[in-house]
């Protein structure tokens, strides 16, 4: 595992540009853009307040910085550093901000989710979308950027509206058979929209572009239900992560389950390969132990070497007992990621500890299994992304990276986290 030099970072705001050429990091009110290969600073921008969200445009030419407390969004250009845009939502407030797929419109969600304001950087026009629902994933664009699906709440009922992104006109509007809609996600081909209900009701609904209900799936009743959903790149499979610690795969023909994967706490199968991270501190000479300066001591502490060893089975993974009287228990499958060739699926189980020792599990196909025990002091391990040529292309909300290349051959999985304490750093560990 290799580490770069330590640089300041706040709120885990560190994102690669979609083309993989730049790395943007935020420290308080400063935005720093570096070359992704050399980490040399290319641009330094100063915002009006502390940055709480940063996001690249799809063409990597612009980057927005949202300051929710002040209701402000500032947009910076890499090609023209002297140009910038400032959007002030005023008394309406601001709770979320994101780019449209064309990279020329910004969608701002006001406080209490009263409306979504669409700002155009080209024409300076403004459009308004009413009734957005405050849910886990209420906005979803098709892969080609033509349509926007929006989860809405009207008259105590859930609805979905589909808008045309070229002029932001309403195309379809239909209600959903959900008690409390939790999220929506387009299939990569843009033909099917997946809608899932709150964790109290296990229900996954599949709708066509014109609002027809294609199928409904329910794995069990009277227990916590869906926690995460992910489409395969080919749109042939839909992975549903549940609170019972299992991943169920639905097919695109009958929308029935074709297989399910569990997450055993003890690995006993001899065919399973388990990789365990081992750290080793460098030995210091006796003459160097006498009263080192504090900064030098910190650098020595951060120079820990690590490698991966193949552990012998059986291997027991430390599990975390959830607190029964608290909401959102740390159980179930909280993250899913397909490899670009559709052969592998990476998952993360929230029932394993998130403190100093962080076990991670990655389910690869039907038989392969890899476990990696993180011994860095990680407040949380971020969403597992796939890496298939070493060119980062997208960071999703501070929760991981997606990587892309022309060959699209799967080479491994990359996990990102942040070490606690003095000299915090961003760590990456491919395996």
The domain that contains 19 carries what CATH number? Answer: 2.130.10.10
Indicate the pairing of strand 345-349 with strand 22-27. Answer: unpaired
Whether residue 206 sits in one domain with residue 168: yes
Q: Is residue 51 part of a domain?
A: yes
Low-confidence ranges of the chain (pLDDT < 50): 295-301, 354-384, 386-411, 414, 416-431
Give domain status of residue 429, yes or no. Answer: yes
Q: Do 110 and 72 sit in the same domain of this protein?
A: yes
Residues 427 and 314 in one domain: yes
Distance, CA of 72 to CA of 76 (rounded, Å): 13
| Residue 297 belongs to some domain of the structure | no
- My answer on whether 412 and 273 are in the same domain is yes
Does some domain include residue 289?
no
Residue 379 domain-assigned?
Answer: yes
Are residues 163 and 205 both part of a single domain?
A: yes
Residue 290 resides in a domain: no
Sequence-separated (6 or more) residues with CB below 8 Å from residue 140 = 148, 149, 184, 185, 186, 193
In a domain, 294, yes or no: no
Q: Is residue 93 located within the same domain as residue 156? A: no
Same-domain check for residues 407 and 276: yes
Last residue of a domain, one of 130, 149, 184: 130
pTM for the full predicted model: 0.78
Q: Distance between CA atoms of 321 and 323, rounded to whole angstroms?
A: 7
Please indicate, yes or no, whether residues 20 and 113 belong to a single structural domain of this protein: yes
Give the model's pLDDT for residue 297: 46
Same domain, 223 and 180: yes
pLDDT of 380: 41
Residues 43 and 68 in one domain: yes
145 is in which domain, residue-wise?
Answer: 131-262
Given this model, what pLDDT does residue 378 score? Answer: 35
From the list 329, 331, 322, the residue with the least C-alpha distance to 349 is 331
> End-to-end distance of the chain based on CA atoms, in angstroms?
9
Domain count, the chain: 3
Which residues on neighbouring strands pair with residue 278, listed in sequence order?
307
pLDDT in tens, 66-84: 999 999 999 999 999 999 9
Which of these three, 112, 130, 148, is where a domain ends?
130
pLDDT tens digits for 296-305? 444 444 556 7
Residues 240 and 334 in one domain: no
Domain assignment present for 336: yes
Out of 85, 107, 130, a domain closes at: 130
Q: Which pLDDT does position 262 carry in this prediction?
A: 86
pLDDT at 356: 28
Examine the domain organization and report whether 249 and 334 are in the same domain: no
Residue from 321, 418, 306, 281 nearest 372 by CA: 306
């Amino acid at each position: 595992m290799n580490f770069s030099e330590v640089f300041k970072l706040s709120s885990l705001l560190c994102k690669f540009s979609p083309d993989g050429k730049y790395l943007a990091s935020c420290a308080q009110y400063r935005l720093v853009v570096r070359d992704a290969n050399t980490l040399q600073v290319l641009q330094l921008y100063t915002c009006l307040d502390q940055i709480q969200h940063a996001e690249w445009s799809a063409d990597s030419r612009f980057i927005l910085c949202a300051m929710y407390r002040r209701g402000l969004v500032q947009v910076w250009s890499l090609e023209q550093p002297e140009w910038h845009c400032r959007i002030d939502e005023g008394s309406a407030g601001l709770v979320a901000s994101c780019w449209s797929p064309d990279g020329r419109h910004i969608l701002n969600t006001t406080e209490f989710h009263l409306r979504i304001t669409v700002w155009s950087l080209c024409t300076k026009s403004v459009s308004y979308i009413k009734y957005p629902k405050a849910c886990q994933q209420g906005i979803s664009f098709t892969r080609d950027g033509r349509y926007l699906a929006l989860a809405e709440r009207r008259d105590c009922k859930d609805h979905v509206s589909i808008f045309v992104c070229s002029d932001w006109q309403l195309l379809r509007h239909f209600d959903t058979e959900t008690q409390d809609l939790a999220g929506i996600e387009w299939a990569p081909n843009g033909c099917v929209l997946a809608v899932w209900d709150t964790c109290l009701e296990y229900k996954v609904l599949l709708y066509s572009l014109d609002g027809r209900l294609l199928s409904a799936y329910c794995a069990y009743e009277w227990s916590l239900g869906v926690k995460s959903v992910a489409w395969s790149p080919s749109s042939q499979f839909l992975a549903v992560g549940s609170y019972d610690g299992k991943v169920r795969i639905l097919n695109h023909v009958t929308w029935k389950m074709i297989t399910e994967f569990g997450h055993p706490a003890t690995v006993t199968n001899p065919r399973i390969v388990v990789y365990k991270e081992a750290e080793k501190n460098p030995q210091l000479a006796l003459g160097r132990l006498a009263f080192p300066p504090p900064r030098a001591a910190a650098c020595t502490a951060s120079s820990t070497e690590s490698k991966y060893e193949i552990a012998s089975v059986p291997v027991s993974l430390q599990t975390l007992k959830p607190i029964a009287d608290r909401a959102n228990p740390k159980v179930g499958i909280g993250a899913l990621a397909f490899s670009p060739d559709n052969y592998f699926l990476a998952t993360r189980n929230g029932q394993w500890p998130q403190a100093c020792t962080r076990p991670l599990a990655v389910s690869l196909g039907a038989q392969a299994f890899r476990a990696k025990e993180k011994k860095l002091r990680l407040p949380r391990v971020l969403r597992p992304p796939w890496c298939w040529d070493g060119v980062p292309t997208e960071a999703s909300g501070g929760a991981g990276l997606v990587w892309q290349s022309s060959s699209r051959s799967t080479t491994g999985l990359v996990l990102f986290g942040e070490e606690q304490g003095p000299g915090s750093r961003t760590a990456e560990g491919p395996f």
